[in-house]
Amino acid sequence: MFDEIWFGTTVRVWVTALAVVVVSTAILTVAKRIIVHRLRMLAEKTTTDIDDLIVDLLGRTRLSFLIAFATYGASHMITRTPEVAEFIKTAVILILLLQGAIWGNGLIVYGIARATKQKMTEDAASATTLSALGFVGKILLWAIVLLLALDNLGFDITALVAGLGVTGIAVALAIQNVLGDLFASLSIVLDKPFVIGDFIVVDTVLGTVEHVGLKTTHIRSISGEQIIVSNADLLKSRIRNYKRMQERRAVFTIGVEYGTPAEKLEQVPAMLKEIVGAHDRVRFDRAHLQTLGESAIIFEVVYFMLEPDYALFMNTQQSINLSILRRLAVEGIRFAYPSRTLYVKQ
């Protein structure tokens, strides 16, 4: 019985090769468990993520891969006919592709998890977008592995790839708006023109960013309602991000009566500089007699708030206005009212 010939090799050799496969697989399985266990213990004592990645990838090594490895080694014991050699080659390649896809999936999961962990503290919506992109990456990975597997099984994938290309173009044209929003979402994640919590102005829309999704961004307006804006439309607009303002430029004017003596008018810029400069977190820029208006002499004042907070700016501007009213009243300089003088000829 053991001397019978099966596919060019005796049964005895086939049994021996099978025993080698079983024993080798058992040894590799035990070795894998020991190595993973010890590496995991070492990884817990370090602060880097690379060793954790190695442990995870080793843990993802499937039993089928170990069997294929042992089978390939034991196959050298038998007389491999062309049919047997082709079968072993195809089986080993398919298992290697499967294992490679599993390892690639682990790399994608690791990369997305690491990026998400960093994003959660500053932009939770970006973390959600990254998770969705990771899902797309996994689909592409398994699609490539499937095509390679079909190619090794003898299928002509040229026509299949061409068909998929045409289908992909048709689908892309059908959902180009969705794809535009998806890529715009990716641009927002990578370029970060704003993050959740920023106060932005887009065209006539102004409010605080609440959510950045794959297709739309949600903005809570200052009047309370939620405004939904397409990501593609958002990036086509000019975005003003007030959250990233480092200082605020303030410009205001006052008008005094035309009957004010020139000597007192010359003193007004210095008074305004003194009043503005007396406030904290303010950098005075200039004060000038700007123009001679129809019913008033106009002075323009420019200063910078060294902090962007709007409430602080309004409190400071209010204090400046009250100080100007008091100072001009003391100096006897009167504010001008909109008026027109009409001369009637008898």
Domain extents in the chain: 5-154, 185-243, 248-331
Give the neighbor-by-neighbor strand order of the sheet with 282-292: 248-256, 297-305, 282-292
Per-state percent for the chain, helix, strand, coil, to nearest 5 = 60, 15, 25
Amino acid at 294: E
CATH placement of domain 248-331 = 3.30.70.100
Copy the structure tokens of residue 11. 């049964």
How far is residue 132's CA from residue 124's CA, in Å, rounded to a whole number?
13
Beta bridge partners of 301: 252, 287
Decide if pLDDT at 122 tops 60: no
pLDDT of 53: 78
- Model pTM? 0.51
Residue 64: its pLDDT value, please? 81
User: From the CB of residue 292, how many other CB atoms can be counted at a distance below 10 Å?
Assistant: 9
Chain centroid, CA 141 distance in Å: 22
In this prediction, residue 177 carries a pLDDT of: 61
CB of 213 within 8 A of CB of 185?
A: yes
In CATH, the number for domain 185-243 is 2.30.30.60
**DSSP one-letter code for 335:** B
Q: What is the pLDDT of residue 244?
A: 84
Structure tokens of 136?
Answer: 């797309």
Of 178 and 216, the structure prediction assigns the larger pLDDT to: 216
How confident is the model over 95-110, as a mean pLDDT?
A: 84
For residue 228, what are the β-bridge partners? 218
CA 291 from centroid of its chain's CA atoms: 49
47: pLDDT strictly greater than 70: yes
What distance in Å separates the CA atoms of residue 257 and residue 339, rounded to the nearest whole number?
Answer: 10
Q: Is the pLDDT of residue 118 over 80?
A: no
Pairwise CA distance, residues 90 & 154, whole Å: 10
Spatial contact of 57 and 103, defined as CB atoms under 8 Å apart:
yes
Dump strand ranges (E) for the chain: 5-6, 9-10, 199-202, 205-212, 216-221, 226-230, 239-241, 248-256, 282-292, 297-305
